[in-house]
Chains A and B, each alone.
Chain A
Amino acid sequence: MKIGPINIPLKEDFSLKSILGFEKTPMNMLVAVLTLAFLAMFVVGVATYLMHGHHAYNVTREHPWGLLIAVYIFFVVSSTGFCIVGSLGDVFGFKDYMMISKRAIFGSIVTILAGFAVIAFEIGHPVTMLIYNVLSPGLTSAIWWMGTLYGIYLTFMIVEFYFLLNNNMQKARIFGLIGLLVGLAAHSNLGGVFGFLNARTISNGVFYPTYFILTAFITGIYLSFIIMGFRYKMNFDEKTKALLVGLAKIQTLLIAILMFFETWKMLTAVYGGMPNRAEVAEHIMHSGAFMYGEVLMGMLIPFTVMLLTKWRSVTTYVWTSVIGMVGIFFMRYDLVHDTQLKPLQMMKTHEYQLPPSWVEYFPSATEIMISLGGLGLCVLLYYVGTRAFNLDEEH
């Protein structure tokens, strides 16, 4: 397809028919039905939000950030992860990883778009945001930097993807490198959004900005397994296998580092019983979302499986990566929720209340629908992309 000087090489058979012409295996049908269901939920959720505003969400004065923020973070971390994995080949020139670059860069575009779609319904006034982000920039605000940098990042990713499609590796590398740097900056600023919260002792500090980069890489590898499994229907050729074995080894190392990070974060948080930090850390460690979600699914299961199988069983890793992504979701959810766990006002304001202890939050149906809708949107866009573009490496 040609628009002026821009040439977008679409697949020749790209049409509605090709989109609908997937193999009707039970698995494919399940994914298709789920995606459509999620998209329907998105419509219902957004409609509910437009009618009732934030009343449709379970966010409160004490817990202003809810599931949608977590899901936004989940998507943008995924995007950064894809970007990192994609850059291995086309930016850093690791030949083995070249074959996934295009696919990963496309994934990074799709996931960040899904993230933006979700956050648009969390931010009360997204249009006002676009205007005043420019007219009256808050340069001391991590959210301003994060938002602005992600905007620039998306542009670079699209341009990079364009050059990749056109096999212009030179320009793809330049835009890829800048995009990666901007993405990492944006991403660590997202960590900074939490790290700057002086009042929230559990989140305050250097941990989240750096941890975000690490977990982005891990997320990128999990997602790479999933998309490659999807692409090759689990029948990997030797080259792909080599790629995935390489990624699995990197992943094992990264998870090991993450486990060190987490262990020391928790140890230092609990040690000495510092008020506002120790009891929050202990509370977090007693929560199922942390122990089963983050630790077990996000780290221990994939890590153990890869160690035990000595990086040889790549099809298994596709499945452990699905488990890993569930764990990654809990990492994002917990990050948001745990930051707000401890009330900032600890006195009773009404006679007939128990003294404030932990801030309770569970997402509303609307929040869940919009979040799943984001996932549906992501899958749909990605699938359409696989039909429209040649995401494989060209020889």
Chain B
Amino acid sequence: MKKIETSRRRFLQGSVALCVYATSSFSFTSKQNSSITTIENIPYLCNMCRNKCAGFARVQNNTITKLNPNKYFPKSRNMLCPKGNAGIQAIYDKDRLKYPLIRIGNRGDGRYKRVTWDEAYEYIKDKLVTIIDEEKDNRSTIAYCNGEGFNKDEYIKFFGSKLGSANFLDEGSICLNTKLGATQLTIGDIGEMDVAGSDYLIISGANRYESLITPDSIDMIHSKQKLVVLDPRCTVTALKADEYLPLNPGTDLAFCLSMIYIAIKEKLYNETYVKEYFKDFDKLQKHILKNNYTASWAESKTHIPAKKIEQISREFFGAKNPLYYLGRRSVWAQNDFQLRRAMVLINALAGSVNRKGGIIFGKPFVLKQEQINEAFYNNSQGRFDLDGIVYGSQKGGSWLNFREKVLTKKAPYPVRAMFIRKHNIMQNMPNIAKTKEMLNGMDLVVVLDTMPSDTAMMADVILPECTYLEREDMVVSFNRLEPSLALRNKVVEPLYESRSMQDILHGLGRKLSKPLFAVSAKYDEDLQESIEELGAKNAFKEGGYDFTELYQNSIEQRNKKLIVSQFGLDVYTSLKTKGVWHPYIGKQKELYNDYYEYYPKEKRFYTVDRKYRVNCYLGKLEKSGFDPMPTWHSHYDFKLSEDSFRLITGRYITSTQTATTNNIMLKEFQEKNHLWINDRVAKKLDIKEGDTLVINSPIESVVIQAYPTNKIAPQVLWFAHGFGTESEELTNAYGKGASDNMIIEDKFEKIYGCATMHETNVTIRKL
């Protein structure tokens, strides 16, 4: 069996051949003959989506020939999803950004000239010096954003701590900030959901089987708890549920309120827990009972039969370890914050907090932070995107509020430049026209990315970053119940002239530090004093103005130092050879069929010693004129005029937002998106499978093919996010399907400033 068979034909058919297929600009021919000589398996962390799974890359003669799952990582449980498997085509994508580019045409028309890294840096420096000088050293005129999880802190350290801008934006406000905030403000921690430990699981809208989150998606299959799914669309998660409860879009809160009502009315809640941990339970009880959120009331809102709501509620509160899944996806509607809070409260009422199968606090590894010398700028002003937002994320801000204020010139100062890293803002937030207008108003737009996205096409300078397989990143701590460390190792050297983010920032820092220091010296009185006192050289150094401080040592050296000093050499070795470390890594037990137990059950951090309260009532909200407790308002009702539809969005298992639609392998499975429309409605409108439709929203219209199906509610339309790319440089994705954010209205809720994705009503007509 171990005979090595490498017949000529087989080899030609091998993966290398496939790589060649996808990489016309790269020649492997000289390497083919000598292949299958050395095989190396290098541990890495996937970056095809935000989730991060671990894998081993098989490398033959400097070419990655296969990505395989890593069995050592508790989070991803020895699996790679289709996107993870197709990562090989991300590095060898022929459309990749290969060289630094400077724009020579108009924004968006895709005309660029290839330049050297130095020329690119020089160009950026000249622009920045002028802008910052003109803005009298208000560094916040340079906004910066980052849509990637890894390296975000490094990026913030550069532009925030060193360059001194307050305006950082990330994907949180177009993603899940309300959920994080609701959990934090209700039980004092964002926690982690122990899906594996739960015996009764309710999921509202989150499509865990088509938008994989490890380990949740995997645990749902393996732990075989009762699964109840609420969704206006019959997703794969719904198909796999024990009970699927179709409901009107945006009415999940009514279901939750009714569950709370039933729990209180029938005294189903965990009384000891409530007594010990709840704050203002009386207020909650009074509020819920007064509003009479009965099952039949909820039926009128959700369309779920009252009997069903009662049955599910009783089962849930009667279960040993029930979990109401808090969701993890975009924000839906104005009530999203209180919807997530209602979910947290349901878990808390059942006592499912800080215990097996509930929201657990756990015990994550806390990595020491590398200390850097932060620069201080007196003339740098604060952020403005949280003005008018009750809480908001101090870190990632509110994208839509930011954009609106910049566009309407209601910001206290102009934002004139933007650094965008791995954040396709031209596709990822509602109302693309406004994003375009915002970028068109900038004096400088710099994009760091691997692909020529729609956003890259708006840049003045494009800096090609290498993909996740071509770089080492700083070590990351994962999870709370079964905590581990994981390290993204470099698998192959960066292709073309691409560089890691750290190398890019290092180069940029060398170029920027002194000239920008000179601008500060011109305006900043404290700095002038300091220069007088210490001399320019020392003032520069001690004031933290050297942008390259963090990058004096390579990532490899920094990782080694950090890990060895905090955890010891063995941990470092494990991270380099297995990509992962946790205390039981040598002792993990195979349960069956390549599926492992990582932490022994008794060693998992189900319950930790922690003082916390469950806050039923948020006074700050009341003061700001919002509901302090989850409340239903009549304008949340799902009511539409007869010929209009509610547009909801989501994604395919084979695509991650807009980042993967150009992937030649994934394209095989979903080349474009289709519009889901209820089959009976379609029949009435004489719409057949494959018909071309125009969707009109109040802001724009898009063209898409119809998919009549019984799996969606009447008056609801769905199509997947990530398609409708306008960048012609993405040759596989260009012109395929429709872009949801073209037509989704740019509304945002005011508690966290999050874009509400499911509040747009549209009409359709056949083309």
* A200-244 Cβ-contact flags toward B at 8 Å (1 or 0): 000000000000000000000000000000000000000000000
Contacts of B707 in A (CB 8 A): 351-352
Contacts of A350 in B (CB 8 A): 669
Majority SS of interface residues in chain B? strand
Contacts of A351 in B (CB 8 A): 674, 707
Query: Which residues in chain A, 344-360, are within 8 Å of chain B measured between CB atoms?
Result: 350-352, 354
**Closest Cβ neighbor of B668 among chain A residues:** A350
**Closest Cβ neighbor of B674 among chain A residues:** A352
Contacts of A352 in B (CB 8 A): 674, 689, 705, 707
Least CB distance from B236 to A in Å reads 10
A352 to B669 Cα, complex, angstroms:
10
**Closest Cβ neighbor of B706 among chain A residues:** A352
**Closest Cβ neighbor of A350 among chain B residues:** B669
A354 to B690 Cα, complex, angstroms:
10
**Closest Cβ neighbor of A352 among chain B residues:** B674
**Closest Cβ neighbor of B236 among chain A residues:** A351
Contact-size category for B: under 10
Query: Which residues in chain B, 657-680, are within 8 Å of chain A measured between CB atoms?
Result: 669, 674
Query: Which residues in chain B, 693-710, are within 8 Å of chain A measured between CB atoms?
Result: 705, 707
**Closest Cβ neighbor of B673 among chain A residues:** A352
A354 to B689 Cα, complex, angstroms:
8
Number of A interface residues in the complex (CB < 8 A): 4
Which has the most chain B C-beta neighbours within 10 Å: A350, A351, A352, A354? A352
* A329-364 Cβ-contact flags toward B at 8 Å (1 or 0): 000000000000000000000111010000000000
**Closest Cβ neighbor of B669 among chain A residues:** A350
A351 to B651 Cα, complex, angstroms:
13
**Closest Cβ neighbor of B671 among chain A residues:** A352
A355 to B669 Cα, complex, angstroms:
16
Least CB distance from B206 to A in Å reads 19
A352 to B705 Cα, complex, angstroms:
10
Contacts of B669 in A (CB 8 A): 350
Contacts of B689 in A (CB 8 A): 352, 354
Query: Which residues in chain A, 66-80, are within 8 Å of chain B measured between CB atoms?
Result: none
**Closest Cβ neighbor of B689 among chain A residues:** A354
Contacts of A354 in B (CB 8 A): 689
Contacts of B705 in A (CB 8 A): 352
A160 to B608 Cα, complex, angstroms:
97
**Closest Cβ neighbor of B652 among chain A residues:** A351
Least CB distance from A132 to B in Å reads 16
**Closest Cβ neighbor of B709 among chain A residues:** A351
Least CB distance from A351 to B in Å reads 8
**Closest Cβ neighbor of A353 among chain B residues:** B689
A350 to B667 Cα, complex, angstroms:
12
A352 to B691 Cα, complex, angstroms:
12
A354 to B707 Cα, complex, angstroms:
10
Least CB distance from A349 to B in Å reads 10
A351 to B239 Cα, complex, angstroms:
14
A350 to B669 Cα, complex, angstroms:
7
A351 to B689 Cα, complex, angstroms:
11
A351 to B705 Cα, complex, angstroms:
13
A352 to B673 Cα, complex, angstroms:
9
A354 to B669 Cα, complex, angstroms:
16
A259 to B414 Cα, complex, angstroms:
89
**Closest Cβ neighbor of B690 among chain A residues:** A352
**Closest Cβ neighbor of A349 among chain B residues:** B669
Least CB distance from B670 to A in Å reads 8
Query: Which residues in chain A, 180-210, are within 8 Å of chain B measured between CB atoms?
Result: none
Query: Which residues in chain A, 28-60, are within 8 Å of chain B measured between CB atoms?
Result: none
> B-contacting residues of A (Cβ < 8 Å)?
350-352, 354
Q: List 8 A-B contacts (CB under 8 A).
A: A350-B669, A351-B674, A351-B707, A352-B674, A352-B689, A352-B705, A352-B707, A354-B689
> A-contacting residues of B (Cβ < 8 Å)?
669, 674, 689, 705, 707
Nearest 7 A/B pairs, CB to CB: A352-B674, A352-B707, A354-B689, A351-B707, A350-B669, A352-B689, A351-B674
